[in-house]
Amino acid sequence: MKRVEGETIKRGVVFINETVPYKLVAWLANKLYKEHYIAIPTKNQIEVTPLSRSVKYLWKTNEYWNHIAVNTAIEKEAMLPGSMEEFIFEHYFGYTKVNDRISQEYEVNHPRWLVNKVIDYSIHCDFTAMYGKDFSFLNTQSPDSVIIAEGSPVTVKWKRNSF
């Protein structure tokens, strides 16, 4: 998402849904911050060798384990300016729909992330169960790109601006 405020362009992200493994975290985020979290079973698997790293994230919906998995090169690389990686990962604002008239904005801070070259990937997801029927077409689609970033600790300025 891009929001223009005066002469400032604020590139941000809107999540379709946010999953966490703990019901209390989902409840607090939804009540206090008007987020749209759901609590579902999740787990991850990370395996590192001298030549590669495998990362698998799993989540359970309707008694079925979904997953996204990547096998990457071990070397970390800087994102190239103007790259798809930069477009996807370099967002410093988040937006949440409060109701049909109001959205809230919050600021997210993190250093510029490093990326790893994806060697192979696997995606098994029931997009209909996870995101609703509007996303069911993804069940038969292949992704245009698969990318992964090293990530980092993230801080959030919870002072929210409504618009």
Residues 128-140 have pLDDT tens digits of 999 999 999 999 9
Whether 131 and 17 have beta carbons less than 8 Å apart is answered as yes
> How many percent of the chain have pLDDT more than 70?
96
**Residues 116, 34: Cα–Cα separation, whole Å:** 34
Say what the pLDDT of residue 32 is.
86
> Edge-to-edge, what's the strand order for the sheet holding 148-149?
77-78, 114-116, 148-149
Is the Cα torsion angle 131, 134, 140, 144 positive or negative in sign? negative
Instruction: Over range 45-57, report the average pLDDT.
Output: 97
Whether 42 and 19 have beta carbons less than 8 Å apart is answered as yes
Q: What is the pLDDT of residues 10-22, one digit of tens each?
A: 888 888 888 999 9
Strand, helix or coil for residue 48:
strand
Domain limits for position 145: 2-162
> Which H or E element spans position 88?
helix 84-89
Q: How many domains does the chain have?
A: 1
Q: What is the pLDDT of residues 52-96, one digit of tens each?
A: 999 999 999 999 999 999 999 999 999 999 999 999 999 888 888
